[in-house]
A and B are shown apart, each in its own frame.
Chain A
Amino acid sequence: MVPFAGYAMPLQYRTGILAEHRHTRESAGLFDVSHMGQVRLSAKPGASMESVARALERLVAADIVSLGPGRQRYTQFTNGTGGILDDLMVTSLGDHLWLVVNAARKHDDVERLNVLIGEECDIEFLETRALLALQGPSAVAAFARLVPESESLSFMRAALWSHEGETIMVSRSGYTGEDGVEVSVSSRGVESLARRLLARDGVEAAGLGARDSLRLEAGLCLHGHDIDTTTTPVEAGLAWSIQKRRRLEGGFPGADVIISQLRDGPPRRRVGLVPQGKAPVREGAAIRSSSGALLGAVTSGAFGPTAQGPIAMGYVASEVAATGTVVEIERRSSWIEAEIRPLPFVPHRYHRS
Chain B
Amino acid sequence: MGNRLYSKEHEWIVVDDDVGTVGISDYAQEQLGDVVFVELPESGREVARNDELCVVESVKAASEVYAPVSGEVVEVNDALGDDPAEVNADPYGSGWFVRIRLADAGELDELMDEDAYGEYLSELA
Contact = CB atoms under 8 A, between A and B. Distances in A.
B34 A282 contact: no
B59 interface: yes
Interface in A267-286: 278-280, 282
A278 B37 contact: yes
Contacts of A310: 37
B33 A303 contact: no
B60 A303 contact: no
A239 interface: no
A278 B81 contact: yes
Contacts of B55: 332
Contact of A209 (B33, B37, B57, B84): B33
Nearest to B64: A332
Contacts of B86: none
Contacts of B84: 278
A332 B81 CA distance: 18
A303 B62 contact: no
Contacts of B98: none
Interface string A40-60: 000000000000000000000
Interface in A202-219: 209, 213
Nearest to B62: A282
A190 interface: no
B37 A213 contact: no
Interface string B45-69: 0000000000101011110000000
B96 to A, nearest CB: 19
A18 interface: yes
A257 interface: no
Nearest to A2: B60
B36 interface: yes
A88 interface: no
A209 B36 contact: no
Interface of B: 33-34, 36-37, 39, 55, 57, 59-62, 81, 84
9 shortest A-B CB distances, which residue pairs? A303-B36, A18-B34, A17-B59, A278-B37, A279-B37, A16-B34, A280-B57, A17-B34, A16-B33
30 contacts: A11-B33, A11-B60, A16-B34, A16-B59, A17-B33, A17-B59, A17-B60, A18-B34, A18-B59, A19-B34, A209-B33, A213-B59, A278-B36, A278-B37, A278-B84, A279-B37, A279-B57, A280-B36, A280-B37, A280-B62, A282-B61, A282-B62, A302-B59, A303-B36, A303-B37, A303-B57, A305-B59, A310-B37, A332-B39, A332-B62
